[in-house]
Structure 1
Amino acid sequence: MIMRYRYIIGWIFVTGLSLGLLSCGHYLDAKPDEKWTLPSTAEDLQLLMDNYSLMNGQYPAAGEMMADNYYLSADDWNTLSENARDLYLWQKNDQTKDYWVYQPILTANVVLDNADNIKVPADSIRALRDQAKGSALFFRAVYFHALVQLFAAPYDKATAATDKGVPLRLSSSYKDVSVRASVQQCYDRIIMDLQAALPLLPALPQIKSRPSRPAVLGALARVYLDMRDYAKAAAYADSCLHLYNTLLDYNTLDAMADVSIPRFNPEVILDMISPAANTLLPGTNKTDTTLYKSYADNDLRKSICFLNNDAKSFKGDYGGMGSQNGYIFAGIVTDEMYLIRAEGRARAGSTALAMQDLNTLLEKRWRTGFFVPLTATDATEALSKILTERRKELLFRGTRWTDLRRLQFDPILAVTPARIMNGNTYTLPPHSLRYAMQIPIDVIALTNIPQNP
């Protein structure tokens, strides 16, 4: 089985060379070795989906690198690559191939192209095949969504049909010509894939690296939040929490440990991380001072999630690395679902229910006996408090970049992040073109798809 898996991966690698750069009108001359083979059993399909480093470990970190949760000293900034320095200051740079993550999408397409050809003589085999197919649909949607957050303009219903999105690779064939779909087409496909995945997956997480129905519902909540369809975002978060709503009590954690929050802890519905980024290393970045001071002394996140050093280095990741991290945790977690449902309820005018969700979460974060439930006189005040706690709770989870993108459409809630470097001030105002990164220059050269401005 292991040898067969290697043959399948070898075939994917060769045919995937063109996908990594997105082949244009002519085809690659390279042909797969005859000993390499396509998946032909349900076990083959599931092996491809269980490749953690590829399917769960390639979420791009660029959004968090551009977010305003931290700052760099000039000395630390100078140690970074030119690309990382430019991302930090929101400057144009087309050396972005590390974030153009289509290889997981290709692998998902291999599973989807072959799943219906698998013979299923027994219900157990059918269940395994369906799980692999559902996982492929889930991961394809998640990576399409990640790419849209980086390489396309923020979702705007008024312009989404004409705004340029990313190529929607829906086949494992390296012969397909790459074109940029519209932003609307991208979101339609993401939602379609997630909805198709839902009935194929188990009702509860069995192995936290594998998708489940709560993970799909959580992903849909994220997508609709990004689209500013707050009613649907809240509805999907609610459906997720009806299946899985466990919260971790921070009073049970050791604040002095380098790894205070264990990996695969009870809040995690699906485990997913990014490759490490030097910009995000605790020894390099420093938590935004105002943000750190916003945690009350009896808020356990202040001691659980930060090292007590001058930089207030973040160690509160859910990937089990603690102070040794340098990546973002991008998985689906129940705390985020409480916050999405709370925001949706506040925006719908349901102030009491919104604050109930927020307080249910915060009670698990504060020292026992010291938490006083937050109150709000109206939905506007509730929304303000929810967004404040959302930023504090989801630090280095990749959500701040998407929040900056969506909140820019609200004049009251829009934020203009600023960086100071070598005496110069750099800003990212609402509706800036820099909310969409440059597509990798190699991709442009091979495909002739239009570059972002």
Structure 2
Amino acid sequence: MRDRRMRCFILILWLPGAVSCGKFLDVVAPGSKIEASKIYEDNTTAMMALYSIYGSMFNQGASPAKIARYTGLCSDELKLTWSSDDDGLYSNNISTGNVYVTGMWNTGYLYIRDANDVYWGCAGAEKLDPLIRKQLMAEALFIRAYWLFYLTNLYGDIPLPVTTDVQVNALLPRSLQRDVYQQIISDLLTVQNELGDNYIGPDCVSPSSERTRPNKAAATALLARVYLFMGRYEDAAAQASTIIDMTDTYALVPLDQVFLKNSTEAIWQLMPGTPNVTKINTTEGNEFIINVPPKYKTQQAISNALLGAFGQYDQRKKSWINSFTDRSVAPAITYYFPYKYKVRIGDDLKEYSMIFRLAEMYLIRAECRAQLGEIAAALADLNMIRQRAGLPVLSADQQDKYTLLNAILKERQVEFFTEQGHRWFDLKRMGAIDTVMTIETPAKGGGIWNATKRLWPIPKEEIVQDPNLYQNPGYP
């Protein structure tokens, strides 16, 4: 979180997003010492500074696959395929020096720092094209909001860096989660005003069919999620409805098409850089598909709890789960693994990592409507997702508010498994984590579940370096 490394020379990636009118002119960073350096005197290098963040987000220590893996092991989604691979995540006994938890913290704050650099660097860059300047600043705020959301939901109260002042950021105390959320909301409302509905190309101006650069809808999707987590149900439903109503751009698609690149269900996706020398389509496909015996490679499989959560006729189990039988041991063992992404390695780029998709908007609105007592309307949204999965619709005469909320939690479990930490966050915010993990943690060999484990520890090295930080309860 502390060094201010600026990436100047990177692969020109790709990225399509959106553009509109805004008010990013004459902004001055409070307490910031950043100057309009040479990188922000040129449109191309300024854009490259932003694109490098997306490139790192695709495959570094906080990649979509890493978020899904770490939270999946902590919750009831995933299990280890080789017992010696436990690093504390699976057993819910994470140490303050855990390399993965520390890496997630450091990487998340690295992206926030780089986003702040882009935002304030562009703010002081008079030579940039005004449209490009506005677009880059909006996307930088979106990136900051996105990573603040993940960090606060993993660690609780967190430092809140909004400037590029190294000395100030190095000594930040933890801000209350409610204040972090308010900063996220402020950033996203600004982004909504600055970005347009279209997706744009690498030049920040031209329209594009690629959905790999955030547009107004991406900001709206994250804002809907934040409002939901805060219990602002009317606001969350309104944001979700905005996207659901954009039927010319977004639509639910058959299960086998959801995770394809530029799927019409996609609101925002991440793609690999160009040239794609690793031949990886998505980190999820590369890391989750099991094709060798577990003793040869650290891997994880779908847990018994998740496997048993699917109904008899749920087509998601058939379409989004696959199996590998390890015949190198006797008796042979069959492992089930996430198969939402079908490509592990391949020259033909067919899939992009899904960050936000339309199904989440339906289930956000369903939950909000249930909380507001609008049972029939909530069921209509829930049944949209159930029908696609081949399940029968639920009728209003069988539901009350709490029965329906439980049905929505179950639907989120089987719809969003191993996607972006949904299950771990849902268990916490919907008050189900202690009930579920009291059973799961002992079964995973972790002993008695402790409610303090719902938050990850602040990395011990951060507390050593910043005397204004303190550790989460339950950790030494």
TM-score (norm 2): 0.72
Post-superposition CA distance 1:8-32 (Å, at most 9, x none): 369xxxxxxxxxxxxxxxxxxxxx9
1:331 match: secondary structure: strand
1:120 positional shift: 6.6
Partner of 1:211: helix, strand, or coil?
Answer: coil
Task: Using the TM superposition, give the Cα deviation of residue 6 of structure 1 relative to its aligned residue in structure 2, in angstroms.
Answer: 8.6
Q: What is residue 337 of structure 1 aligned with on the other side?
A: 361
Give the paired residue count: 384
Quick one: distance in 2 between partners of 1:140 and 1:105? 5
Cα separation, partners in 2 of 1:178 and 1:340, compared to 1, 3 Å: same
- Separation (CA, whole Å) in 1 of partners of 2:308 and 2:93: 29
Structure 1 residue 450 and structure 2 residue 465: aligned? no
Q: Deviations over 1:252-311 (max 9, x none)?
A: x38xxxxx9423322111114997799966453232324323434443211110114422
The answer to whether structure 1 residue 189 and structure 2 residue 183 are counterparts is yes
Provide closer, same or farther for how the CA distance between residues 245 and 69 of structure 1 changes in structure 2, counting only shifts above 3 A.
same
Is this contact kept in 1: 2:76–2:437, CA < 8 A?
no
d(CA) in 1 for partners of 2:385, 2:344: 21
1:425 Cα offset (Å): 5.1
Q: Tell me which residue corresponds to 2:205.
A: none
Gaps of 5+ in 1: 11-31, 153-164, 255-259
What's 1:63 paired with? 71
Question: Is the aligned partner of 1:178 residue 2:171?
Answer: yes
Q: 1:393 aligns with which of 403, 411, 415?
A: 415
Identify the residue that residue 317 of structure 2 maps to in structure 1: 302
User: What secondary structure sits across from 1:214 in the alignment?
Assistant: helix
CA contact (8 A) 1:347 1:379 kept: yes
1:323, 1:373 → 2: CA distance? 38
Residue type of the partner of 2:466? T
Give the corresponding residue for 1:402: 425
Partner residue of 2:303 out of 252, 266, 288:
288
One-letter amino acid of the structure 1 residue matched with residue 367 of structure 2: E
Moved more, 189-198 or 265-274: 265-274
Asked if 1:373 is matched to 2:393, the reply is yes
Give the superposition deviation at 1:47.
2.0
Match of 2:336, SS state, is: coil
Letter in 1 for 2:95: N
Q: Does 1:383 align with 2:384?
A: no
- 1:144 alignment partner, one of 148, 154, 174: 148
Give how far 1:41 is off. Answer: 3.4
In structure 2, the CA distance between the partners of 1:279 and 1:442, relative to structure 1 (3 Å rule), is farther
> How high is the TM-score relative to the length of structure 1?
0.75
Query: Partner residue of 1:17?
Result: none
2:99 aligned with 1:72 = no
Q: Residues 432-451 of structure 1: matches in 2 within 5 Å?
A: 432-448=451-467, 449-451=469-471
- Per-residue Cα deviation, 1:62-91 (whole angstroms, up to 9, x for no partner): 333312112225xx13135xxxx2121111
Residue 166 of structure 1 corresponds to 158
Amino acid at match of 1:408: G
CA gap of 1:322–1:403, structure 2 versus 1, over 3 A, is farther
Quote the RMSD (CA, aligned, Å): 3.3
Deviations along 1:139-171, whole A, 9 cap, x unmatched?
10110111111111xxxxxxxxxxxx1111112
Against the structure 1 CA distance between its residues 445 and 409, is the aligned structure 2 distance closer, same or farther, given a 3 Å change threshold? Answer: same
Match of 1:351 in 2: 375
**Separation (CA, whole Å) in 2 of partners of 1:409 and 1:289:** 18
Q: Distance in 2 between matches of 1:229 and 1:222?
A: 10
CA displacement at 1:114 relative to structure 2: 1.9
Query: How much has 1:97 moved relative to structure 2?
Result: 2.0
* 8 Å CA contact 1:104, 1:140 repeated in 2: yes
Identity %: 24
Letter in 2 for 1:139: I
Change (3 A) 1:98 1:410: closer
CA contact (8 A) 1:228 1:406 kept: no
User: Residues 416, 220 of structure 1: CA spacing in aligned structure 2 closer, same or farther, 3 A cutoff?
Assistant: farther
Q: Distance in 1 between matches of 2:309 and 2:72?
A: 20
Alignment partners' CA distance in 2, 1:211 and 1:279: 25
The change in CA–CA distance for 1:247 and 1:6 in structure 2 (over 3 A counts) is same
Q: Secondary structure at the match of 2:396?
A: coil
In structure 2, what is the Cα distance between the partners aligned to 1:410 and 1:231? Answer: 25
Instruction: Please give the alpha-carbon distance, in whole angstroms, between the structure 2 residues aligned to 1:336 and 1:215.
Output: 12
Does structure 2 conserve the Cα–Cα contact (< 8 Å) formed by 1:238 and 1:337? yes
Whether the 8 Å CA contact 2:39–2:46 is kept in 1: the answer is no
Query: Is the partner of 2:92 in helix, strand or coil?
Result: coil
1:79 maps to a residue whose letter is D
Q: What is the aligned partner in structure 1 of residue 8 from structure 2?
A: 8
Match for residue 91 of structure 1? 93
Kept in 1: contact 2:7–2:49 (CA 8 A): no
CA contact (8 A) 1:113 1:172 kept: yes
Return 5+ residue gaps in structure 2 as ranges: 11-33, 201-209, 272-281, 325-333, 347-351
Cα distance change on mapping 1:451 and 1:329 into 2, 3 Å:
farther
CA contact (8 A) 2:211 2:267 kept: yes
**Does the 8 A contact of 1:8 with 1:37 survive in 2?**
no
**Local SS of the residue matching 1:312:** strand
> Contact (CA 8 Å) 1:226, 1:402: kept in 2 or not?
no
CA spacing shift, 1:425–1:444, aligned 2, 3 Å: closer
193-202 vs 174-183, greater mean Cα deviation: 174-183
Distance, in Å, in 1 between the alignment partners of 2:395 and 2:412 is: 16
Alpha-carbon distance, 1:421 to partner: 6.3
C-alpha contact (below 8 Å) 1:43/1:128 kept by paired residues: no
